[in-house]
């Protein structure tokens, strides 16, 4: 039986590739993002994709859009919340306005999305909620304070939500990609090791959600396992390793 899926942040990058992947696998996919024109392109290319424009920073808009999706699909099996922004230049200047915006979109936008489906899943007693975070949430990285903080908050929240929703037979999963070539990472002015395509990411996420039952879906493994090791190192050692890496790039 085909799954019915809702994906936010679907206008580009991982979200777009993921929508195409699920649709090509025969699933019905509701896609949401602010850029209606890009969502329209998706619907025109695949009959299994339906557009539901959304600003995740608007809590009432989230609730309204989810109601519209339910009216159309009657049921939702998987929600994948992946809205995210990053602005490396503003972070280097400690632009407080941009820092607030990053937290508002990345963290609170995801909270608004989860809030819109919480009662539905609570009553349904089944299904999946997946949160797209990042390996940037493992530890603080240079020139990415707000982005790392937003992703770290999502990672911790997903872990906490797991305990609550497991009792209701709802699977919570955390997606932690490494570097993926998207319009967002195109802003970075440094070498990105083991960078992968959005299609690669979509394939890994699809397998993790449909064919496996683990909590965290992370990739590419060679890169993410290295970062997991950094995650458990004492802080002084971590600082020295990162600073040494920075000196090599200067």
pLDDT at res. 59:
97
* Phi-psi label, residue 13: left if phi above 0, alpha if psi -120 to 50, beta otherwise: left
pLDDT at res. 113:
98
Instruction: Look at 22-36, 87-101, 138-152, 181-195 and tell me which has the smallest mean pLDDT.
Output: 181-195
Q: Which residue has the higher pLDDT, 66 or 1?
A: 66
pLDDT at res. 51:
98
d(CA 212, CA 108): 28
pLDDT at res. 161:
98
pLDDT at res. 244:
84
Mean pLDDT over the full length of the chain = 93
Quick one: which H or E segment has residue 175? Answer: strand 171-177
Could you read off the pLDDT of 38-64 as tens digits, one per residue?
999 999 989 999 999 999 999 999 999
pLDDT at res. 153:
97
Instruction: Look at 45-49, 181-185, 209-213 and tell me which has the smallest mean pLDDT.
Output: 181-185
* Count of domains for the chain: 1
Could you read off the pLDDT of 6-15 as tens digits, one per residue?
999 999 999 9
Which residue(s) pair with 217 in the sheet?
A: 175
67: domain CATH number is 3.40.50.720
Quick one: which H or E segment has residue 232? Answer: helix 221-232
- Whether the CB-CB separation of 47 and 95 falls below 8 Å is answered with no
pLDDT cut 70: percent of the chain above it: 97
Would you call 147 a catalytic residue per the annotation? yes
d(CA 181, CA 16): 12
Confidence of residue 249 (pLDDT cuts 50, 70, 90): low
**Other CB atoms within 10 Å distance of the CB of residue 75:** 12
Confidence of residue 188 (pLDDT cuts 50, 70, 90): confident
Confidence of residue 250 (pLDDT cuts 50, 70, 90): very low
Q: Which of 50, 107, 121, 147 is catalytic?
A: 147
Task: Write out the residue range of the structural domain in which residue 174 sits.
Answer: 4-249
pLDDT at res. 91:
76
pLDDT at residue 29 greater than cutoff 90: yes
Which residues, including other chains, have CB under 8 Å from residue 126's CB and lie 6 or more apart?
169, 170
User: What average pLDDT does this structure show over 106-130?
Assistant: 97
Quick one: which H or E segment has residue 193? Answer: none
d(CA 152, CA 22): 27
Helical residues (DSSP H) of 49-206, grouped into ranges = 59-73, 88-92, 96-103, 109-124, 145-166, 198-206
Q: Is the peptide bond before 151 cis (omega within 30 degrees of 0)?
A: no
Quick one: which H or E segment has residue 30? Answer: strand 28-32
Could you read off the pLDDT of 84-100 as tens digits, one per residue?
998 877 777 888 999 99
pLDDT at residue 1 greater than cutoff 60: no
CA dihedral 115, 120, 125, 127 (to 10 degrees): -80
């Amino acid at each position: 039986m085909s799954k019915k899926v809702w994906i936010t942040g679907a206008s580009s990058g991982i979200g777009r590739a993921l929508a195409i992947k699920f649709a090509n696998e025969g699933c019905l996919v509701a896609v949401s993002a602010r850029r209606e024109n890009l969502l329209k392109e998706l619907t025109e290319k695949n009959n299994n994709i339906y557009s539901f424009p959304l600003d995740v920073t608007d809590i009432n808009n989230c609730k309204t859009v989810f109601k519209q999706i339910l009216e159309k699909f009657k049921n939702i099996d998987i929600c994948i919340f992946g809205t995210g922004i990053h602005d490396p230049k503003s972070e280097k200047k400690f632009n407080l306005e941009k820092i607030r915006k990053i937290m508002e979109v990345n963290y609170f936008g995801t909270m608004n999305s989860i809030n819109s489906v919480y009662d539905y899943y609570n009553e349904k007693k089944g299904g999946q909620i997946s949160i797209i975070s990042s390996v940037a949430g493992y530890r603080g990285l240079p020139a990415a304070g707000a982005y790392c903080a937003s992703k770290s908050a999502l990672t911790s929240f997903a872990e906490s939500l797991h305990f609550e929703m497991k009792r209701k037979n709802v699977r919570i999963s955390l997606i932690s990609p490494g570097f993926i070539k998207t319009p967002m990472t195109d802003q970075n002015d440094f070498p990105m090791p083991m960078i992968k395509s959005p299609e690669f990411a979509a394939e890994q996420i699809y397998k993790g959600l449909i064919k496996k039952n683990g909590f965290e879906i992370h990739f590419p493994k060679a890169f993410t396992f290295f970062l997991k090791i950094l995650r458990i190192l004492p802080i002084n050692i971590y600082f020295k390793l990162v600073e040494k890496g920075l000196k090599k790039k200067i």
